[in-house]
Chain A
Amino acid sequence: MAEQPDIEQLQTTLLAEITAAGDDNVLEQIRIGALGKKGSISARMKGLGAMAPDERKAAGQSLNALKSVIADAIAARRDELQAAALEERLLTEIVDVTLPHRPVQTGSIHPVSQVWEEVVQIFGDLGFSVAEGSHIESDWYNFGALNIPDEHPARQEHDTFYFNPGPDGSRKVLRTHTSPVQIHTMEKSQPPIRIIAPGRTFRCDSDQTHTPMFHQIEGLVLDETTHLGNLKWCLLEFCKAFFETDEVKMRFRSSHFPFTEPSMEVDINCSWQDGQVKIGVGDDWLEILGSGMVHPNVIRAGGHDPDKVQGFAFGLGLDRIAMLKYGIPDLRAFFETDLRWLRHYGFSTLNVPTLAGGLS
């Protein structure tokens, strides 16, 4: 039994060589030297044929075991060497992670649009749909149907933009308020009606706090029972939801609008600090909207019977409530398209206002 020590010896030698192998080539040479056709293990395998059967069986087993050990050792060492080589390579592949990331183009949503969506969320929940109307209106829809007859002093207060008279002598106007949508809506639909109508409005006026174009939201409810108490509730709930505070206090003052009767102006409480206004705190009052019960003449102009239906209407400045909520100081800047302003006051496209997720 001279074979056994020889195999052990061979295994020890080979394993030592494998462990010492420094690269793939050396390892391959070792593999060929041991397991190749003329390798040391292969040579011994060939010698098996000359042995006695039981000797051959034992030697065969030993050699097979050796073969397997050596093959595994070579594979393991190869993995080791590859891992080490990779590790070495990676150490040469360093990047400076403090370099800036690739440029990203970040856009923005204008505050007017953002607030449009906020308002729609709130009134949508109260069952108001969104109505629209054209900007260029007939005198009738902008004034006459709204109980503002020709030559009425209230008309002069509107600073109306006119177009030149048409062939029939009538002049179109740029709507001075969103109220014409009340009439269009009444003409097209049957009560119960609940709509808001946000949109552009135009007045021939331009100074520190006025721009010739601005945005209003009209509200109209028409049914058989809605009264002034409902109007107060509706406005109160809107302000609480929009300004996201339950603390908001409101003051209702009698006023006059030709298209509502009774009419009221509405103030909310606020405080001024360093030129910034805060809503829902403090003792100052800020006028935010005009409202009232729809005037019987307006209901009639809309094609309905004021003895059978009634309701309320209101109008508020979309830009104005955006300024108040988001602390934007200057109305004129809304329409100047200064990139610095748009980036600062604009909203991320992912910031979609919802009642469930929050409005701001």
Chain B
Amino acid sequence: MKFTLSWLKDYLETDATVEQLVTALNDIGLEVEGLENPGEALSGFSVGKIIEARQHPDADRLKVCDVETANGMVQVVCGAPNAKTGLTGIFAGAGTYIPGTGVDLQKGIIRGVESAGMMCSQRELMISDEHDGIIELEGDHAVGTSAAEALGIDDPVFDIAITPNRPDALGIYGVARDLAAKGIGTLKPLIINKVSGEFSSDISVSIDLDDDNKACPLFIGRYFRNIKNGPSPEWLQRRLRAIGLRPISALVDITNYVSFAHARPLHVFDADKLDGNITIRMARNGEKINALDEKTYELDDSMTVIADAAGPQALGGIMGGMDSGCSDETINVFLEVALFDPIRTATTGRKLNIISDARYRFERGVDPGFTFDGAELATEMILQLCGGEASDLVIAGKMPDYSRSFFLRSSRVKTLGGLDIKLSQQARILTDLGFAVTEKSDGLECSVPGWRPDVNGEADLVEEVCRIAGLDTIEPVAMPRSDAVAKPVLNLQQRRMLKTRRCLAGRGLHEAVTYSFLPEKLAVMFGGGDECLKLANPISVELSDMRPSLLPNLIAAAGRNHARGYPDVRLFELGQTYKGLEPDEEELRAAAIRTGFDSPRHWAGPNRAVDSFDAKTDIMQALAAAGAPVNSVQIIQGGPEWYHPGRCGTVQLGPKNQLGWFGELHPGVLAKMGIKGPVCGFEMVINNIPAPKRKTSARGALNISDLMAVKRDFAFIVNEDIAAGKLVQAVRGADKKLISDVSVFDLFVGKSVGEGKKSLAVEVTLQPDSQTLTDEDIETVSKKIIDKVGKATGGVLRG
């Protein structure tokens, strides 16, 4: 909300500087977001007086003026129709920057006559759009007076952010009250003169509501006759313009003035345009109103309207209607000063998408206690500025009971706010803020003023005291330490997350953080797209669905990096994926992708295109880092449909607990995404990794043999569809005690091994523990291995 220094000083007696005011406002929670002085832009301009204006010798429309300025007499050629002898206006000398034209003023010869300056219009000074003539100052202004002072715009404008709990500060008087409590000056008492009516209103008001008048508990009206509407006086227009409002007419400007000065929205109807009496009622479904914003709104029965016999003439607390609005021709006026329910006002405003100064105030809460004062204040201004005579007040409904009081224990500011401050000081602050304070032996009984709907308990009173006393006066106090040496704080899953992350980064992958949402198309391709996981109000179609997998955003990111000229992309992410709306349907996952080559081209040897075994290495390493039992996992051929069907696998602990998937991404999916493949990747579900059984930090005993291990190679011919994993398992099973390791060191497919066959060669490590192996021992275990493989896979030893 904006206000000017001079307007504030109408209510606050103070000598504080602008800087002191800014600091105080920030301290008390009325954050200053902007401060400007429009007068500063006019520093080069000052008052000049035309001593003589005579006709230009060679131009009908121009006049040659002798202007008295701060620097003596200057000759100015002027084209304004109102340039005349004796006019006092605003002079700009050569070299002055003119805001309205954006150029520096030059000395010149105009139609043969020298001109050394200019008399300015309002538009040239950018203080309004007025450009019909040069400024004519009213009153007595000494030549040389600064333009800002003469024009009354040497007035800093504050722009403060008002938090939703402070409707009282949506009026300048409320801001003044806060500042006075802070000690920045003295609040001037508001003098309300009651006007007694000269007649009784032609229009009566009734409230016709079902909800105990909650929607509109009180309505005060007043009829004015024989008024004269028209432009409001210059001082009023200037104030409204300074805070960003457009002056309309005296009547409308008065309502705006009271709204911004006292946070009390009003409305004025042209009484002659009203059809009969006024009723405050719920709108009927389908009823329409032509509002003052020149739009037509269709209403429903949740909205409060002020209606006459013809229908709704205003939306309660939000906006008036065009059909009964005031104009320059208005003679008879009906003033509305009412109370409207904050929640209903907010709901209606949002439904109809109307934002107005009235709605803004009503939905935050308007002071019920100021209803009559607001009516009298408006009355006084209308009579003053528009003349006419006022009726008696028309009152419908009754004043709601807003009184409440809370007890502030004498120790509470200290124990909650950490602030050491005398009880008398606390009482002073609360009193200055408008609370009715009664001092008791053990604290303060505080009755809340009507303009503070936000105060609803003792904690709020503590806040008021701390806020005004200044948070900077609260001493920092150390928190007690429960353990001399801090205990670990991360849980198992958090530790797993950190280890997985550092493992993957250590494998050369770059960690990405991508959005939790993605386009519907991608969600569907990666197993998502469920109706319930679509945002009702996405920010764009590209961010419409919650992600079912971490892969699509990573793959899309790879595509963007490809486009920038980086074909080899290695990315990973740790984050949540979403299967449904319930908390247990969010999973913590890790995923990674690799594209292009495993390394840049290098003199020492060829590089290699990434393949599914890079992804397998990544997932197995990541699972190991996360503490998964990688020695007992099963690797199953096949995986989700967004992988290449022949080149992907599933890592699981039994069919019901899949830990993750890896492989080459499906070329069809990549084509749809416009990504050049191959792309290999994996995804794992950190939540699915079982908790470790071991609880002790001690390792098991180390059993190592002094006896030399023996290595033997076996090459088997098996059918092409036999999984290497199966063969290895068979070899291991041949003698679990003796065989300590089996590794596949060769895979060969070719004519020499036969059609539909392949050769798999394994190196078997035999580790004896009691005595050195004899040739016979080795022979025996070899036989077992060959038998076992033969039985399990149909494989035979390669000849």
Q: Do A and B bind each other?
A: yes
Q: Is the CB of A227 within 8 A of B576?
A: no
Q: Is the CB of A228 within 8 A of B581?
A: no
Q: Is the CB of A136 within 8 A of B581?
A: yes
B701 in the interface (beta carbon within 8 A): no
Q: Given contacts A162-B536, A232-B418, A262-B417, could you give 10 more A-B pairs where the C-beta distance is less than 8 Å?
A: A102-B602, A110-B511, A136-B581, A151-B343, A152-B346, A161-B538, A164-B532, A228-B417, A229-B474, A352-B502
Complex: A252 Cα to B463 Cα, angstroms: 13
Chain B, interface residues (CB within 8 Å), range: 35 or more
A99 in the interface (beta carbon within 8 A): yes
B352 in the interface (beta carbon within 8 A): no
Q: Is the CB of B510 within 8 A of A127?
A: no
Known: A229-B418, A254-B467. A338 touches B561 (CB 8 A): yes
A19 to chain B, nearest CB (A): 44
Complex: A334 Cα to B573 Cα, angstroms: 13
23 contacts across the A-B interface (CB closer than 8 A):
A104-B508, A105-B509, A105-B570, A107-B505, A109-B511, A124-B490, A129-B490, A136-B583, A163-B581, A206-B539, A229-B418, A229-B419, A229-B475, A233-B477, A252-B471, A253-B471, A262-B417, A262-B467, A262-B471, A293-B416, A310-B415, A339-B510, A342-B512
B664 in the interface (beta carbon within 8 A): no
Complex contacts, A233 vs chain B, CB 8 Å: 476-479
Q: Is the CB of B513 within 8 A of A334?
A: yes
Q: Is the CB of A102 within 8 A of B604?
A: yes
Complex contacts, B536 vs chain A, CB 8 Å: 161-164, 171
B472 in the interface (beta carbon within 8 A): yes
A117 to chain B, nearest CB (A): 7
Q: Is the CB of B346 within 8 A of A153?
A: yes
Q: Is the CB of B543 within 8 A of A227?
A: no
Q: Is the CB of A253 within 8 A of B29?
A: yes
CB-based nearest B residue for A206: B539
Complex contacts, B347 vs chain A, CB 8 Å: 151
Complex contacts, B553 vs chain A, CB 8 Å: 337
A127 to chain B, nearest CB (A): 5
Q: Is the CB of A124 within 8 A of B506?
A: no
CB-based nearest B residue for A129: B489
Query: Could you say which of B28, B475, B537 contacts A254, with CB atoms under 8 Å apart?
Result: B28
A351 to chain B, nearest CB (A): 10
A37 in the interface (beta carbon within 8 A): no
Known: A254-B466, A338-B560. A202 touches B599 (CB 8 A): no
B491 to chain A, nearest CB (A): 7
B63 in the interface (beta carbon within 8 A): no
Number of residue pairs spanning A and B whose beta carbons lie under 8 angstroms apart: 270
Complex: A310 Cα to B163 Cα, angstroms: 24
A169 in the interface (beta carbon within 8 A): no
Query: Could you say which of A161, A221, A262 contacts B459, with CB atoms under 8 Å apart?
Result: A262
Q: Is the CB of A107 within 8 A of B508?
A: yes
Q: Is the CB of A212 within 8 A of B504?
A: no
Q: Is the CB of A229 within 8 A of B571?
A: no
Query: Could you say which of A110, A117, A339 contacts B561, with CB atoms under 8 Å apart?
Result: A339
Q: Which residues, 202 to 260 on A, are CB-close (under 8 Å) to B?
A: 202, 204-206, 212-213, 221, 225-234, 236, 251-256, 258
A129 to chain B, nearest CB (A): 4
Complex contacts, A284 vs chain B, CB 8 Å: none
Q: 3 tightest CB-CB pairs across the interface, nearest first? A: A105-B508, A229-B418, A254-B29
A149 to chain B, nearest CB (A): 8
Kindly supply a per-residue 1/0 record for chain B positions 475-494, scoring 1 wherever the CB is within 8 Å of any chain A CB and 0 otherwise.
11111011100111111001
Complex contacts, A104 vs chain B, CB 8 Å: 508
A357 in the interface (beta carbon within 8 A): no
B477 to chain A, nearest CB (A): 4
Q: Is the CB of B418 within 8 A of A228?
A: yes
CB-based nearest B residue for A232: B476
A112 in the interface (beta carbon within 8 A): yes
B323 in the interface (beta carbon within 8 A): no
Q: Is the CB of B462 within 8 A of A262?
A: yes
B534 in the interface (beta carbon within 8 A): yes
Q: Is the CB of A338 within 8 A of B475?
A: no
Q: Which residues, 495 to 531 on B, are CB-close (under 8 Å) to A?
A: 498, 501-502, 504-517, 531
Complex contacts, B487 vs chain A, CB 8 Å: 127
CB-based nearest B residue for A342: B510
Q: Is the CB of B165 within 8 A of A228?
A: no
A358 to chain B, nearest CB (A): 17
Q: Is the CB of B488 within 8 A of A346?
A: no
Known: A108-B505, A151-B346. A103 touches B602 (CB 8 A): yes
Complex contacts, A166 vs chain B, CB 8 Å: 532, 581
Complex: A192 Cα to B479 Cα, angstroms: 12
Known: A157-B164, A163-B534, A171-B536. A103 touches B479 (CB 8 A): no
A174 in the interface (beta carbon within 8 A): yes
Q: Is the CB of A256 within 8 A of B29?
A: yes
Kindly supply a per-residue 1/0 record for chain A positions 79-109, scoring 1 wherever the CB is within 8 Å of any chain B CB and 0 otherwise.
0000000000000000000011011111111
Query: Could you say which of A132, A174, A236, A253 contacts B31, with CB atoms under 8 Å apart?
Result: A253
Q: Which residues, 129 to 153 on A, are CB-close (under 8 Å) to B?
A: 129-130, 132-136, 150-153
Q: Is the CB of B571 within 8 A of A337?
A: yes
A80 to chain B, nearest CB (A): 36
Q: Is the CB of A253 within 8 A of B505?
A: no
Complex contacts, A132 vs chain B, CB 8 Å: 494
Q: Is the CB of B513 within 8 A of A227?
A: no
Q: Is the CB of B508 within 8 A of A106?
A: yes
Known: A262-B417, A262-B462. A212 touches B543 (CB 8 A): yes
B569 in the interface (beta carbon within 8 A): yes
A106 to chain B, nearest CB (A): 6
CB-based nearest A residue for B29: A254
Q: Is the CB of A150 within 8 A of B343?
A: yes
A326 in the interface (beta carbon within 8 A): no
Known: A100-B602, A256-B163, A335-B514. A109 touches B502 (CB 8 A): yes
Complex contacts, B417 vs chain A, CB 8 Å: 227-228, 262, 293
Query: Could you say which of A127, A251, A261, A348 contacts B486, with CB atoms under 8 Å apart?
Result: A127
B557 in the interface (beta carbon within 8 A): yes
B460 in the interface (beta carbon within 8 A): yes
Complex: A100 Cα to B601 Cα, angstroms: 11
